[in-house]
Amino acid sequence: MSEWVMPEGRRVEGSLDKLVGIADGGAGWLVFNNPDRRNAVSKEMWEAIPVILQAFEDDPDVKIVILTGAGGKAFVSGADISEFEARLEKASNDGAFRKDAELAYEAIANCRLPTLAMIQGACVGGGMATALCCDLRIASEGSKFGIPAAKLGIGYPYGGVEMLVAIVGPARAKQILYTASIFGTDEALAWGVIHEAVPAGQVEARVAELAATITANAPLSVSAAKLSVNHAAGKAADMDFGRVEAAIAKATSSEDLVEGHRAFLEKRRAVFKGR
């Protein structure tokens, strides 16, 4: 695995030492920065995810969110096991055992901006759920995936199961959950868990290329496409078709539409402004 280098840029609201949000040009980087524990996620980190994503959505310069793990050996290896006993005790009192993680997953899945998971190394348990909430998933060859909940006596959250079924289908989801087996990028690619498997050492370049392609397009068109696809797939947060129609209409009546047509006729690259 290649050594991870933290992107340059400014830290956004909600950033922690172990979960860093960085606005770097058109990209917002959400970095799980806990490499000593293979980027295991603590309660504090789960709570910070929606705050950081909101900061990216509020920044007019950010056009895509890229999620990744520091260290090059793990995307996210799941929830921080060291917190399990304390959180189980809390769960018996107020039923809040998984609420923080579920709210984080919802924030990723419902993010207005396109989201891309850059995966290197372990992507298991809560890490796999985190990746599945993203729109696109690019992994380096040699990365490992799986949901070992059955080996830990955990009832995997329904939201994670629902996302898994939507992507791989019910039969494959049962195989993944029942066996709790770890699988590689060949299976992940064949099953639709990831979109691309890239040779080790090339994943950062591929993600940069893909992000540049997406951010060069009209932001209002991309936003409308995301809403439309999520609605068509039954994944929209509130299933409000009026929001979809409004987003399409906004793109169709935008300055960017005029710019796109002019650029096409003038045989030049369009410069979109998101309005």
Q: Which of 2, 149, 5 is nearest to 73 (CA)?
A: 2
The pLDDT, as a whole number, for residue 95 is: 46
Tokens 């691309």 correspond to what residue?
A: 196
Of the listed ranges 48-57, 70-79, 177-186, 261-270, the one predicted with least confidence: 261-270
Q: Is the pLDDT of residue 86 over 70?
A: no
Q: Is the pLDDT of residue 92 over 60?
A: no
Rounded Cα distance, 213 and 216, in Å:
5
Q: DSSP labels for 44-56?
A: HHHHHHHHHHHHH
With contact defined as beta carbons under 8 Å apart, do 147 and 175 qualify?
no
How far CA 133 is from CA of 38, 104, 107, 180, in Å, comes to 20, 10, 9, 20
Question: Kind of pairing, strands 115-119 and 136-140?
Answer: parallel
The pLDDT, as a whole number, for residue 135 is: 96
Express each pLDDT in 180-198 by its tens digit. 999 999 999 999 999 999 9
The pLDDT, as a whole number, for residue 78 is: 74
Q: Is the pLDDT of residue 93 over 50?
A: no
The pLDDT, as a whole number, for residue 84 is: 59
- The residue-averaged pLDDT of 88-108 equals 70
3-class state of residue 103 by DSSP: helix
Q: What is the dihedral of CA 79, 84, 88, 91, to 10 degrees?
A: -30
The pLDDT, as a whole number, for residue 121 is: 94
Express each pLDDT in 215-273 by its tens digit. 998 888 898 898 888 888 876 555 677 888 888 887 888 777 786 787 777 787 877 77
Q: Counting beta carbons within 10 angstroms of the beta carbon of residue 12, is it exposed (0 to 12), middle (13 to 18) or buried (19 or more)?
A: buried
Please report, for the chain, the start and end positions of each structural domain, with discontinuous segments joined by +. Answer: 10-215, 219-265
With contact defined as beta carbons under 8 Å apart, do 198 and 141 qualify?
yes
Per-residue confidence band for 169, with pLDDT thresholds at 50, 70 and 90: very high
Express each pLDDT in 22-37 by its tens digit. 999 899 999 999 888 8
The pLDDT, as a whole number, for residue 89 is: 58
How far CA 84 is from CA of 79, 91, 101, 123, 128, in Å, comes to 8, 10, 13, 19, 18
Q: Domain 10-215, what fold?
A: 2-enoyl-CoA Hydratase; Chain A, domain 1 (3.90.226)
With contact defined as beta carbons under 8 Å apart, do 86 and 96 qualify?
no
Paired strand residues for 140: 198
Half-sphere exposure of 155 (CA within 13 A, CB side): 4
Rounded Cα distance, 197 and 106, in Å:
26
Find all residues with CB under 8 Å of 188, minimum gap 6, and list them: 139, 143, 145, 194, 197
Q: Is the pLDDT of residue 90 over 80?
A: no
Percent of the chain with pLDDT over 70: 89
How far CA 268 is from CA of 222, 260, 262, in Å, comes to 20, 10, 9
Rounded mean pLDDT of the chain?
87
Express each pLDDT in 121-162 by its tens digit. 999 998 999 999 999 999 999 999 999 989 988 888 888 898
